[in-house]
Structure 1
Amino acid sequence: MSLDLSADPAQLTADLIDIRSESHDEAAIADAVEHALRTQTTGFEIVRHGNRVLARTAAGRPSRVILAGHLDTVPIADNVPHRRETTAAEGEVIHGCGSVDMKSGDAVFLHLAATLDDPRHDLTLIFYDCEEIAAQYNGLGFIERELPGWLDGDVAILGEPTGGLIEAGCQGTLRVSVSASGQRSHSARSWMGDNAIHKLGGLLTTLSGYAPRRVDIDGCEYREGLNAVGISGGVAGNVIPDDAAVTINFRFAPDRSIEQATDHVREVVTSSPSGDQLTVTVTDAAAGALPGLSNPAAAELVAAADGNFRAKYGWTDVSRFSALGIPAVNYGPGDPNLAHRVDERVPVAQIHEVHRVLRNYLR
């Protein structure tokens, strides 16, 4: 499909939705984005790297703003091509897979690249693949490892859905498996066994009563959460189990490192009844990102958005930029609670508002 970058960004959103781009299948949309950038923009160096498309100016401006968005979506659920409707509650909306997460954000970035005259910042645009699946496939990670110079900048804006509010930084995430061991026996002679599932009971009670922190950083309140998200165990209906495990997810404020978060989870597990009989194994971890709103470039963006900002609770790729010392925020149209749903939809008015704010910020 041919994309018209000068078209209304809402129409561009619809056009992007109509290009199927499930994770690992982004070649068609990357082709369309690359062709549009090469034929409809001026002053950009453009590079194709796998299914990633990168573009940047070099006009000698005193600062550089990175606009980054992923091109992939979750699996389509009979919601492509797009459709439009108007409701009393939401006004005009565009339905379709990726409308929220995050083709409307991509559309705004592409429209700005083609229509913004003489921006006061140099710009870097990064459109990448495989954000919706395991981190090992994430296209931004490949860029970080293989083209690190493209991630240099003073502030990064990711077009993740935020309902049109700036969401600063992000919380870290840690997953651990807490396992217990016992001794099998026939359930009719349970006293001859040692029930591994029962050893997890005290930990579940501790997690149920856990009081999470609330942390204020740069005016953003982050709310931690420590929860059991999975449990396994059992052999048969007449066997005392000798093995059981509970999976715990810790969403931690960005003032903690992964190591500090891990130590905290271990302390909670150890302090629970039977905690000394439990084994903690880290299965997945990703650091959070400090909001960095005190940085002048980030503060200017907040001012352009009339001071409307809040903390980002979920993990996003802003963490990658924060680790490089670059302040990063999430800012895009669409309610994140609608992402990945069959009825995923974005209000046209939010697309226009995000476009207005970013245009004023950049010019």
Structure 2
Amino acid sequence: MSNELDLHQDVAQLTEVLLNVESVSGTEKPLADAVEAALRQLPHLQVLRNGDAIVARTQLGRPERVILAGHLDTVPLPTVEGSRGTVPASWDGEVLYGRGATDMKGGVAVQLALAATLPQPTKDVTFVFSDHEEVEAAKSGLGRLVRDHRDWLQADFGILLEPTNGTVEGGCNGTMRFDVNTHGVAAHSARSWMGSNAIHAAAGILDRLRDYQPRTVAVDGLDYRESLNAVKIRGGTAGNVIPDACVVELNYRFAPDKTPDQAEAHVREVLEGFEVVRTDAAAGARPGLNAPAAASFAAAVGAEPKPKYGWTDVARLSELGIPAVNFGPGDALLAHSDDEHVAAADIRACLSVLTNWLR
């Protein structure tokens, strides 16, 4: 099947085409190739590429430049039989099902439609289509652009088209991962008194996490809910061996009033006495709604802005000094679900808002 993209077709139909090009993190190249090829057909855009990240820019000399950003990759396909959030996509009336429907190929379709249909926006626009957003921060395509081509990302304001149900969501929580290790002594399970069970020793970690009361933190007028959870446990070597090591993996989502180091200090305080190793971290972003472009965009959307609880690439833009918000089609609660879907009307409405604002 050809991956050629028609950027002038109905934006919901374009979303279906994007969904049908599987792009689980690490396999974005076919979709990146298709996006690059389609954008190079538009003479009003300068098109650049770094790995599987594509950047396209108008060069109109406007006094203000806006970034519209999104990621091409998805999480892996569902493994549950009968799931509809897979590839290829499918329709149920005016609802589109498929992996990435909400996170975030509906938003990518809106970016591409805007790139094709607005050759003379009132602001210069930089369209960013990045790879490797759904995996560890070290692999991030946008992070790579920040390191290698900071000049491609100069802007006064940014909009990340992550799913927000068509509402402006300011900033985002930070995210951090830890390994909490326990140690024991290996022994034959028939003579368990000769050893010390490292998995049993992890019970104290789980007790503290169960009793932990997450906080809600007000930042620049928006309330960010935090969370600290075990997400995976590793331990044991065989069915007849007392385990001598166990690892509890944690994920901490922290409000953007903290730096990663401050967030780490909090986790270490909660788990004092245990061996805690930080394995990954990404700072959050403050709401950024005080910037003039952000205020005008929020007014154009018309709904009361909300906080973004999940981590998004607005944090990378914020680190560059670019105030940024999230705004895109679809319900974030459906992201990564086995029946991921988005309403065609929501994709079209998102395109309409951005078109009117950029005109």
**Does TM-score exceed 0.5, indicating one fold?**
yes
Distance 2:18 2:346 in 1: 17
Q: Partner residue of 2:54?
A: 53
User: What residue in structure 1 maps to residue 311 of structure 2?
Assistant: 315
Q: 1:232 to 1:43 in 2, by over 3 A?
A: closer
Partner Cα separation in structure 2 for residue 6 and residue 44 of structure 1: 15
Query: What is the TM-score of this pair, normalised by structure 1?
Result: 0.88
Amino acid at match of 2:75: V
1:291 corresponding residue in structure 2: 287
Structure 1 residues 265 and 12, CA gap change in structure 2 (3 angstroms): same
The residue that corresponds to 1:89 in the other structure is none
Contact kept, 8 Å, 2:44 with 2:119, in 1: the verdict is no
Secondary structure in structure 1 of the residue aligned to 2:133: coil
| Aligned residue identity for 2:277 | T
Identify the range of structure 1 (230-239 vs 154-163) with the bigger mean alpha-carbon deviation: 230-239
Pairing 1:62-211 to 2, within 5 Å after superposition: 62-76=63-77, 79-86=86-93, 92-116=94-118, 118-183=120-185, 194-211=196-213
1:345 counterpart (333, 338, 341): 341
Contact residue 167 and residue 303 of structure 2 kept, 8 A:
no
Which ranges of structure 1 fall in alignment gaps of 5 or more residues?
87-91
Aligned ranges 1:325-340 → 2 under 5 Å: 325-340=321-336
Q: Which moved more, 1:41-50 or 1:104-113?
A: 41-50
| Superposed CA offset, 1:267-303 (max 9, x none) | 1111xxxx2xx21111221111111111111111111
The 3-state SS of whatever aligns with 1:125 is strand
CA contact (8 A) 2:178 2:276 kept: yes
| Counterpart-to-counterpart distance in 2, 1:240 and 1:99 | 45
Using a 3 Å threshold, how does the CA distance of structure 1 residues 231 and 80 change in structure 2: closer, same or farther?
closer
Number of the residue aligned with 2:16 = 14
Larger-Rg structure:
1
* 2-structure distance, mates of 1:115, 1:281: 49
Q: Quick check: 1:246 aligned with 2:248?
A: yes
- Partner amino acid, structure 2, of 1:292: G
SS at match of 1:100: helix
CA distance in structure 1 between the partners assigned to 2:276 and 2:49 by the alignment: 43
Partner SS, residue 271 of structure 2: helix
Q: What is the CA–CA distance in structure 1 between the aligned matches of 2:77 and 2:194, rounded to whole Å?
A: 52
- For 1:203 and 1:175, the matched residues in 2 are separated by 15
Corresponding position of 2:271: 269
Q: Can you give the 5+ residue segments of structure 2 that lack an aligned partner in the other structure?
A: 79-83
Query: Match of 2:39?
Result: 37
1:111-166: CA deviation from partner (whole Å, max 9, x where unpaired)? 11121253221100111222223333322122112111111111111111222222
The amino acid of 1:359's aligned partner reads T
**CA deviation after TM superposition for structure 1 residue 237, in Å:** 6.6
d(CA) in 2 for partners of 1:332, 1:76: 22
Partner secondary structure for residue 119 of structure 1: coil
Letter in 1 for 2:74: T
2:286 match: secondary structure = coil
Structure 2 Cα separation of the partners of residues 238 and 84 of structure 1: 50
Letter in 2 for 1:312: K
Three-state SS of the structure 2 residue aligned to 1:320 is helix
Letter of the aligned partner of 2:120 in structure 1? D
* Equivalent position to 2:28, from 13, 26, 43: 26
Give the equivalent residue in structure 1 for 2:81.
none
TM-align CA RMSD? 2.4
Shift of 1:177: 1.8
State how far apart, in whole Å, the 2-side matches of 1:176 and 1:266 are. 10
- Counterpart of 1:361 in structure 2 is 357
Measure, in 2, the Cα distance between the counterparts of 1:233 and 1:334: 38
Q: How far apart are residue 183 of structure 1 and its match?
A: 4.3
Contact 2:137 2:280 in 1 (8 A): no
Q: Tell me the distance in 1 between the aligned counterparts of 2:20 and 2:237.
A: 48
- Match of 1:289, SS? coil
When residues 190 and 120 of structure 1 are mapped into structure 2, their CA distance, relative to the original with a 3 A threshold, is same
Q: Give the aligned residue type for 2:149.
A: L
Tell me the percent identity.
Answer: 54
Question: How many aligned residue pairs are there?
Answer: 351
Once the two structures are TM-superposed, the CA of residue 242 in structure 1 deviates from its matched residue by: 4.1
